[in-house]
């Protein structure tokens, strides 16, 4: 860790705890700052805040008193989940108090370079693939951000022998000033988190922050198949490495004659790749490009891609049950994610779908249900998804109480060679605490079948 002096004797407010707030507060305290922590959860129900109090850090819990901003803070480190229209943040900006997220803090103290990955879909898979390729290539990577440990905690332990591979959300990227990854990846851009950002433009601008401090000495790996991502590239000062699943490129990562290519070099045949799905080719091309730029050889990349079958809950291969291949895509909390899952397979699909009703319809699924031979629905949206299934001409449609009961029902309506796919197209919160809990229950039910 770099022993920086820029925070010594500086009065800093850490707003919102969770893992990132706790780590940031403790780190700033070590760096000599006068730290105040403010969290909405009452102190009696807040073991994280109690732990910081024991370290001698000032803690204010129970609400976010706006008058706290009158105490002369020079900086606010906010939890990424707190939106910028929060009164505390709006008040800080009005007073001219800088607001950052702990990713910025991580960058300032890190001895290791960063490989930053953002985008709407594919961030976690791409981050994991980059990490696995660098790890297999003995490049000593560490993984951080939304997928792993809090970035500033990882940066504290990193040396210049490491590389920090970090998944970055738009929420985190809005709060950076100097953060500058050696390699940045933008996987793709679609509508997301508009309740937080307000507009698509603000969302895209936040994603573009990943490259705002890059120079020609750094690399931006960018999706060449989207106009909005290429617009970001046109405004970036980085060395641009495009990737495309649709066409041959003059340079960069692309597909040609059944091979994944990098700068006109054949790296691996697509048929040898274990990870299913056309959409995953974007993740594979971008992660392969990052690995090549990091000095990883083709044989290492091939080994990873031959064995990597997916991130947990993201089109994760679970098991073969009497000739039925079973996949857990519980992370598919929206229609677009389920469309990507449905297009990943050519075999007949038994689809398990449903969950929290956000008021939307599911008509967008219609063109992609042609390969679905049976539909098992559950949750608040069961009736809506049943209706779309009927319109699609699916002959077998069953409604069950929950995911656990959906699994044996799916098996009973399947035969050898079929795909049993949990891809809900909905959030989990009507029945489950998180998509991870929903996916774990699905996996347990599948293993009961075996």
Whole-angstrom Cα distance, residue 65 to residue 87?
A: 10
- List the beta bridge partners of residue 34: 11
| Mean pLDDT to the nearest integer, 396-413 | 98
Give the Cα separation of 223 and 81 in Å (integer). Answer: 27
194: confidence class by pLDDT, cuts 50, 70, 90: low
Express each pLDDT in 302-355 by its tens digit.
999 999 988 889 889 899 999 999 999 999 999 988 998 999 898 999 999 999
Q: What is the dihedral of CA 434, 450, 372, 336, to 10 degrees?
A: 20
Which residues make Cβ contacts (< 8 Å) with residue 95, sequence separation at least 6?
A: 69
Higher per-residue confidence, 18 vs 180: 180
Contact 429, 422 (CB under 8 A): no
**Best CA proximity match to 310, nearest among 128, 111, 88, 159:** 128
CATH code at 104-307: 3.40.1190.10
Q: What is the mean pLDDT of residues 90-110?
A: 96
Q: What is the pLDDT of residue 193?
A: 64
H or E stretch including 76? strand 75-78
Distance CA 224, CA 202 (A): 21
Binding residues for ATP are 119-125
Binding site per annotation, positions: 119-125
Element (H, E) at 406: helix 403-412
pLDDT tens across 19-56, in order? 899 999 999 999 999 999 999 999 999 999 999 999 99
Phi-psi label, residue 8: left if phi above 0, alpha if psi -120 to 50, beta otherwise: beta
Measured CA to CA, the distance from residue 170 to residue 195 in angstroms comes to 13
Residue-wise pLDDT for 141-168, tens only, equals 999 987 768 999 999 999 999 999 999 9
Q: What are the boundaries of each domain within the chain?
A: 11-100, 104-307, 316-449
Backbone angles phi, psi at 114, to 5 degrees: -110, 145
Whose CA is closest to 280, among 318, 329, 320, 232? 329
Given a cut of 70, whether residue 252 has pLDDT beyond it is yes
Q: For the domain made up of 11-100, give the CATH fold.
A: Rossmann fold (3.40.50)
Cut 0.95: pTM above it: no
Domain at 316-449: CATH code: 3.90.190.20
Q: What is the Cα–Cα distance from 141 to 386, expressed in whole angstroms? A: 46
Q: Is the dihedral of CA 383, 389, 390, 394 positive or negative?
A: negative
CA 201 – CA 172 distance, rounded (Å): 16
DSSP secondary structure letters along 35-49: EEEEESS-GGG-HHH
């Amino acid at each position: 860790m770099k022993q920086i002096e820029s925070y010594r004797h500086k009065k800093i407010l850490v707003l919102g705890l969770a893992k990132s707030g706790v780590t940031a507060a403790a780190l700033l305290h070590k760096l000599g700052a006068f730290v105040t922590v403010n969290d909405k959860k009452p102190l009696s129900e807040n073991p994280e805040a109690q732990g910081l109090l024991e370290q001698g850090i000032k803690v204010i819990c129970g609400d976010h008193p706006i008058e706290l901003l009158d105490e002369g803070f020079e900086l606010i480190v906010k939890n990424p989940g707190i939106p910028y229209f929060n009164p505390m943040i709006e008040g800080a900006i009005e007073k001219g108090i800088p607001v950052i997220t702990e990713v910025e803090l991580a960058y300032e103290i890190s001895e290791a370079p960063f490989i930053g990955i953002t985008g709407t879909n594919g961030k976690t898979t791409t981050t994991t693939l980059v990490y696995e390729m660098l790890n297999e290539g003995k490049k000593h990577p560490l993984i951080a951000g939304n997928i792993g440990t809090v970035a500033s905690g990882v940066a504290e332990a990193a040396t210049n022998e490491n590389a920090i591979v970090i998944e970055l959300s738009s929420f985190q990227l809005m709060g950076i000033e100097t953060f500058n990854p050696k390699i940045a990846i933008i996987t793709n851009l679609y509508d997301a988190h508009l309740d937080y950002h307000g507009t698509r433009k603000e969302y895209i601008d936040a994603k573009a922050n990943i490259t705002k401090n890059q120079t020609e000495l750094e690399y931006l790996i960018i999706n060449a198949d989207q106009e909005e991502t290429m617009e970001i590239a046109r405004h970036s000062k980085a060395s641009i490495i495009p990737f495309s699943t649709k066409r041959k490129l003059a340079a960069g990562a692309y597909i040609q004659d059944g091979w994944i290519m990098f700068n006109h070099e054949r790296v691996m045949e697509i048929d040898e790749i274990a990870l299913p799905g056309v959409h995953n080719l974007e993740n594979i091309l971008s992660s392969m490009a990052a690995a090549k730029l990091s000095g990883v050889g083709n044989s290492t990349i091939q080994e990873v891609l031959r064995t990597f079958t997916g991130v947990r809950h993201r089109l994760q291969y679970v098991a073969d049950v009497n000739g039925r291949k079973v996949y857990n895509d519980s992370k598919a909390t929206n229609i677009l994610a389920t469309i990507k899952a449905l297009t990943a397979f050519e075999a007949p699909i038994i689809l398990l779908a449903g969950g929290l009703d956000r008021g939307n319809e599911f008509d967008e699924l219609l063109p992609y249900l042609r390969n679905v031979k049976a539909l098992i629905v559950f949750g608040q949206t069961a009736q809506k998804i049943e209706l779309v299934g009927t319109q699609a001409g699916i002959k077998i449609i069953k409604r069950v109480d929950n995911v656990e009961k959906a699994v044996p029902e799916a098996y009973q309506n399947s035969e050898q060679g079929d795909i049993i796919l949990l891809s809900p197209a909905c959030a989990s919160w009507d029945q489950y605490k998180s998509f991870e809990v929903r996916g774990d229950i699905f996996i347990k039910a599948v293993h009961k079948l075996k």
